Amino acid sequence: MTVQETLEKAVSKVLNEKVTIIGCSRTDTGVHANQFCFNVKTESSIRCIGFCRGVNGELPDDISILGCEDVPLDFHARFDCKGKEYIYKIHCSESKDPFGADLAFHYRRKFNVEAARQAAKHLVGTHDFASFCADCTNVSTTVRTIYSLEIENSGDSVIVLVKGDGFLYNMIRIITGTLLDISEGRIAPDDIPEILAARDRLKAGRTAMAHGLYLNKIFY
């Protein structure tokens, strides 16, 4: 079962016509979204507020329509997107968080925040991120721009926050996994420029688990 399938069934029922939604991105199984945008064309004259209330009434508890607005007919949720922001949640403790099961990565070590921040500086800007892509066969270019990469720490919680113009397949999870390897001393923070230049996935760190990742914001 997918989020798209569930949404299409609910939207089709409310609009009384079979529809296909166009999402702003695709994500791996287990990844979450605080905000996700999609567009749909319809012959229905339903008002936006009616759409929100109607579709929410058909959705399960783990999916919610946050808003709706009319857009030009040529609007495309994916291709008109100007940027995205992701967060990756890490729970750093020997003890698991019973309220965060499948909502944050349980990391049983102390996270070296300063080393991760030093490495993050090398990733900000426009670079070829081929070393941070699990499968680059379906993209015309592996060059992307990261506007900001911040690591926030409060108690046992570490959040990696990344904002950019677009991201490659598994790019955020590989960046986070590389930061984890840096925290453990497997990779040095100043090795990042060499890893980028190599354009080789094997040079970067591990791929972090899917359930710690959230699509946080979409920019149009």
For residues 195 and 203, is the Cβ–Cβ distance under 8 A? Answer: yes
Instruction: Find, among 174, 164, 167, the residue nearest to 141 by Cα.
Output: 167
Q: Which of 28, 102, 135, 200 is catalytic?
A: 28
- Specify the long-range contacts of residues 110-116, CB closer than 8 Å, at least 24 apart: 111/153, 111/158, 111/180, 111/183, 112/182, 112/183, 112/184, 113/151, 113/153, 113/158, 115/182, 115/183, 115/189, 116/151, 116/160, 116/179, 116/182, 116/183, 116/189
Q: How far apart are CA 51 and CA 53, in angstroms?
A: 6
Residue 134 CA, distance from chain mean position: 15
Q: What angle do CA 35, 141, 30 make, to 5 degrees?
A: 35
Q: Residue 156 catalytic?
A: no
Instruction: Find, among 94, 87, 66, 104, the residue nearest to 164 by Cα.
Output: 87
Q: How far apart are CA 25 and CA 28, in angstroms?
A: 10
Q: Which sequence positions are flagged as catalytic?
A: 28
